[in-house]
Structure 1
Amino acid sequence: MNRSANTDMSGLAPLSGFAQIVEASVLARAQRGDMPAFATLYARFGQPCYGLALRLTGNAAQAEDLVQEVFLKLIETIRSYRGDAPFGAWLKRMTANAAIDQLRKNKRFVDADPEAMFAAADAVDASPAQKLDAAALLRRLPPRARAVLVLHELEGYTHTEIAKLFGQSESYSKSILARGLQRLHASVAEPQAET
């Protein structure tokens, strides 16, 4: 039976995103510096990296820059990949870390006070149609809240993992997530109240 590299072990459903299976030979060639192997990795994981970067940064240009940065860093760091976790999970963490680092460099995480963070984001005006668009809703959140929400709710990170990424406590991560979700629920409810 000829099984595609993008199917799960049962052969029933194609895998996508960061869950894609990468052949050991491709990883070995990439670890030796083989550029066609890196092209294969980019072809498989470029879009998932971009999607995660876009959800975390809320900015298409920043997300594109971030993907380039991650894959350039991958060329330098792939030799350190030991295979303890699936390659996609390793690359996902690298992408999340790079997005958080980029947001810090841009000083979008300067304000660590949750009250001030949400008060500043309340100034963003959006039309009723935008309020129902998921991407627009995420963009209305402060950068740190958006990142915590995306990492926890969409990417499956635990509060412990998020706390380590941000250098904060688990309770801080939980607080930011709760406030972010509350804010999203309120944003979705607003257009219904207007009708």
Structure 2
Amino acid sequence: MSWTEITVLVEKAKTGDREAYGELVTRFQSSVYAMALGRVRDPLEAQELAQDVFVHAMRKLPQLRDPRCFAGWLRRITARMAINRLTRRGPLFGTDPEMLDAVEARTRTAEEQFAVGEAVEQLKGALSELKPLDRQTLEAFYIRGRSLKQIAKEFAVPTGTVKRRLHVARQRLKEVLEEIDPTLAEKFAGVEDEVEAVGV
């Protein structure tokens, strides 16, 4: 699914199209879960957090001014809700089942799971071949879910510098991936659009 298609789905979902929102959940559930798991360190709690993120995002979606920012906006919601959950560590709040009744649950087949695992290993290998600064910048944004402002503060550089570093690091990563597996490199080709769309 291209970023243009995602933007169209966001526009539809903002008008109350639950089928469109369900498609967005299907597209982003793996990345939201991975980010949640990386923060709360518990699979079951990460699943609950991911569900809460999508319910919250559905309610707040009309407030999203630029549909192109959806991916970064969703990432920031996940980070914020993970921090709240870790701070609270009290009873977990449930959600209305009917809120997500239009969202179709999907589990990967054994073959898909293997393919994802293989792709992750290839990506890790490619990251390890990058210069430390390139690797640290990509990991901060994509793996640790830091915003551009947070990365700028962490590296003590202007936000514009972070954007440029992300652009350069992605290009270098793409070159390494093309040497390992050209088909894998194609999967990362749309990432540029996401970063350009993410607000600071």
TM-score, length-scaled by structure 2: 0.46
Say which structure is richer in helix.
2
Point out which structure has higher relative CO (alpha carbons under 8 A, 6+ apart): 2
Q: Greater CA radius of gyration, 1 or 2?
A: 1
